[in-house]
């Protein structure tokens, strides 16, 4: 049965993959983001709105939706307000199901962004809405972006922590499966296929981008880094596409060290 599904953050790294997949299955997809373009391929409607403001645009976006997939996030602040606005609007519109993405280990790290994600998770669980929560590890694309940033310095100082990056396409597949079923509460955490040290991923990135940089693996101080060193952000290995395979499927831009578009 096809559904009407609102995807907040449907223009982002994982959001656009979710939108593609839902549209390919024949669902009527609404995309909401602050700077949503007038049209998104496959989407039945796009809505430019800031979740932090709420109001009539948000009410219109949720009206008649069977499911809301909440992916939007503003790391600079406001996610708890966005969540309160969205969950309130969804409750008033009697939306049967809200699917939320979060990050593995948000309850085991003092990182302020993780604490915010945990508050959003709790707000959804307390909202009275039907809900499903999926926590995942870091996307390959995020690790690639951080590696590109670190490679700008003549000496790349790389935190000596384990990472377990996951393919955003595989996460999107899982989100779509969850969004088209009944509310399931907390789903099993979803991690990438392998754990590697960040310096090893950086070496892999440097090989792929054809860059040469001396690396300094650094056991950085502080409670947040200690939580990462202890692997509190890791998850069961569910995904199949590793960082190497992710990069191998892309062409590096000759100068920028990011992928060619």
Ligand X SMILES: NC(=O)c1ccc[n+]([C@@H]2O[C@H](COP(=O)([O-])OP(=O)(O)OC[C@H]3O[C@@H](n4cnc5c(N)ncnc54)[C@H](OP(=O)(O)O)[C@@H]3O)[C@@H](O)[C@H]2O)c1
Where are the alpha helices (H) located in the chain, listed in sequence order?
A: 15-24, 56-62, 79-92, 112-125, 140-150, 168-179, 198-209, 223-229, 243-248
13 binds ligand X (CB under 6 A): yes
14 binds ligand X (CB under 6 A): yes
Residue nearest to ligand X (CB): 12
209 binds ligand X (CB under 6 A): no
217 binds ligand X (CB under 6 A): no
Among 85, 138, 144, 180, interactor with ligand X by CB under 6 A: 138
Nearest Cα neighbor of 213 from 153, 143, 125, 161 is: 153
85 binds ligand X (CB under 6 A): no
51 binds ligand X (CB under 6 A): yes
**Would you give the DSSP letter of residue 12?**
S
Is the CB of residue 18 less than 8 Å from the CB of residue 4? no
101 binds ligand X (CB under 6 A): yes
34 binds ligand X (CB under 6 A): yes
Comparing CB distances to ligand X, the nearer of 52 and 213 is 52
Is the CB of residue 227 less than 8 Å from the CB of residue 197? no
Report the C-alpha gap between 197 and 122 in whole angstroms: 31
35 binds ligand X (CB under 6 A): yes
Report the C-alpha gap between 236 and 139 in whole angstroms: 15
Size of the site for ligand X (CB under 6 A): 27
Contact residues toward ligand X (CB under 6 A) are: 8-9, 11-15, 32-36, 50-52, 71-74, 78, 82, 101, 103, 136, 138-139, 142
């Amino acid at each position: 049965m096809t559904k009407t599904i609102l995807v907040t953050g449907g223009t982002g790294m994982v959001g656009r993959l979710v939108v593609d997949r839902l549209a390919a299955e024949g669902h009527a997809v609404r995309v909401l983001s602050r700077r949503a373009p007038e049209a998104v391929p496959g989407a039945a409607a796009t809505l430019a709105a800031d979740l932090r403001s709420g109001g009539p645009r948000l009410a219109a976006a949720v009206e008649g939706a069977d499911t809301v997939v909440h992916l939007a996030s503003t790391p600079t602040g406001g996610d708890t307000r966005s969540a309160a606005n969205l969950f309130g609007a969804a409750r008033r519109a009697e939306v049967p199901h809200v699917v939320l993405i979060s990050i593995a280990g948000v309850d085991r790290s003092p990182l302020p962004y993780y604490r915010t994600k945990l508050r959003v998770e709790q707000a959804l669980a307390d909202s009275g809405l039907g809900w499903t929560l999926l926590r995942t590890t870091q996307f390959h694309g995020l690790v690639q972006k951080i590696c590109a940033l670190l490679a700008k310095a003549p000496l790349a100082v790389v935190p000596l922590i384990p990472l377990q990056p996951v393919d955003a396409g595989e996460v999107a597949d899982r989100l779509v499966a969850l969004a088209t079923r009944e509310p399931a509460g907390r789903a099993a955490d979803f991690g990438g296929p392998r754990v590697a040290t960040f310096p090893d991923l950086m070496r892999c990135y440097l090989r792929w981008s054809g860059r040469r940089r001396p690396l300094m693996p650094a056991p950085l101080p502080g409670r947040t880094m200690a939580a990462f060193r202890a692997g509190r952000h890791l998850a069961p290995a569910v995904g199949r596409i590793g960082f190497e395979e992710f990069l191998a499927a892309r062409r590096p831009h000759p100068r920028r060290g990011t992928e060619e578009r």
